[in-house]
Amino acid sequence: MLGSFASIVALALSTAEMTFFEHGFIPMVAFSFGSTVAFVLLWYLRLRSQSRHLRLIIDTVPVFIFAKDDKGRYLLANKMMAERMGTSSEEMNGTTDLDYGLPREEMEGYLAIDRAVLESGTTIEVPEYSLARKDGTLGWFKTIKVPYRQPGSNRQAILGVTLDITELKQAQLRVEESERRFKHLAHHDHLTDLPNRALFADRLEQALALARRESRRLALAFIDLDGFKEVNDSLGHETGDLLLKEAADRMRECIRASDGIGRIGGDEFVIFLRGVENAEVALSAVEKLRTAMERPIIIVDNKICISASIGVSIFPDHAEEERQLSRKADMAMYRAKAGGRNRVCLFDAAIDRF
């Protein structure tokens, strides 16, 4: 649409300023001198009227309109363009972007696009770009450049039409941000911002696939907070939520960036540890997490003490598929709770028989 508008303006500018000779008028000897002068005057006034009408149009439309020669010198600029440069349309004639503070490197980039338009004889759409607007705010713009024959000559020039698309771009960015946030919320726990069950399962599958290719072990731990229900019931859900957030933060601090963590239920969390050499290394890492959960938590002047019961299974020692590995870590976690809570339990065949 912007390209069509630019082409129409280029044609109108060329037509409105053609001399009467270009319109096929040739004074004939049979005309009296007075008649010839009168005809020329009437035609000139008609062209001037067309030119003024066209100037009114291009000064009214809410876009930047300009024409440049092959050296980058302005041949024409509408009112909006001139105001953008802090000058008038008349004063812009013959100037270049360098006169308005544009770095030479950027101007060379504009000239390269102009040469491409002239050499191809076709319309070129400049990719969206950002630029400081007159009020100092950052704006987004879209420009179309078309070939344009200078009036009264055969020299080629460039006609440009630039549209301020800032509001459209901002709306697009808002939509993209909303989509990003919606996608994030769909895959993360709203309270702790940890991956939810679905996202954690997906990341665990990827981690297991990598472990298979590299023939390495992976540890999976199911974590249940001991005493959380009592805190939640006695001190309220708000305190319970703060407790869960603090517990999640402590768990994050206990694992590496390459490991994974998620919240899969009210007070249930899961983690996986990549590249563990053996069960002893995995248990040592998980024990640090259990110890971190023992430290008292202060919430609104309340000193809260909880603990964690943790069940661990190892890939590929205990299972090679995500579902079986998760089932066995969960069974080990329940064995830890049944054994007195606040402990780490590694899955073994005896638990499976139980």
Helices (H), the chain: 2-16, 33-60, 79-85, 89-92, 104-120, 166-187, 197-214, 228-235, 237-254, 279-294, 322-338, 349-353
Q: Hey, which residues are catalytic here?
A: 267
Query: What pTM value is reported for the model?
Result: 0.62
Note the pLDDT tens digit of each residue in 305-332.
999 999 999 999 999 999 999 999 999 9
pLDDT score of 149: 81
Report phi then psi at 76, rounded to 5. Answer: -160, 145
Domains of the chain: 2-170 (3.30.450.20), 188-353 (3.30.70.270)
- pLDDT beyond 60 at 110: yes
Mean pLDDT of 94-122: 90
- pLDDT beyond 50 at 4: yes
Whether the CB-CB separation of 257 and 182 falls below 8 Å is answered with no
Mean pLDDT of the chain: 85
What's the sign of the alpha-carbon dihedral 332, 335, 337, 341?
A: negative
Note the pLDDT tens digit of each residue in 35-92.
444 544 555 455 556 677 777 778 888 889 899 998 999 998 999 999 888 899 999 9
Q: Which residues, including other chains, have CB under 8 Å from residue 196's CB and lie 6 or more apart?
A: 187, 188, 189, 262, 263, 264
Q: Which residue has the higher pLDDT, 8 or 124?
A: 124
Q: Which residues, including other chains, have CB under 8 Å from residue 350's CB and lie 6 or more apart?
A: none
pLDDT score of 19: 39
Mean pLDDT of 196-204: 95
What CA–CA distance (Å, rounded) separates 344 from 331?
A: 12
Percent of the chain with pLDDT over 90: 58
Least confident of 56-60, 86-90, 222-226, 285-289: 56-60
Give every strand in the sheet of 268-276, ordered side by side: 260-263, 268-276, 217-226, 307-315, 344-346
Least confident of 40-44, 113-117, 204-208, 214-218: 40-44
Note the pLDDT tens digit of each residue in 228-266.
999 999 999 999 999 999 999 999 999 999 999 999 999
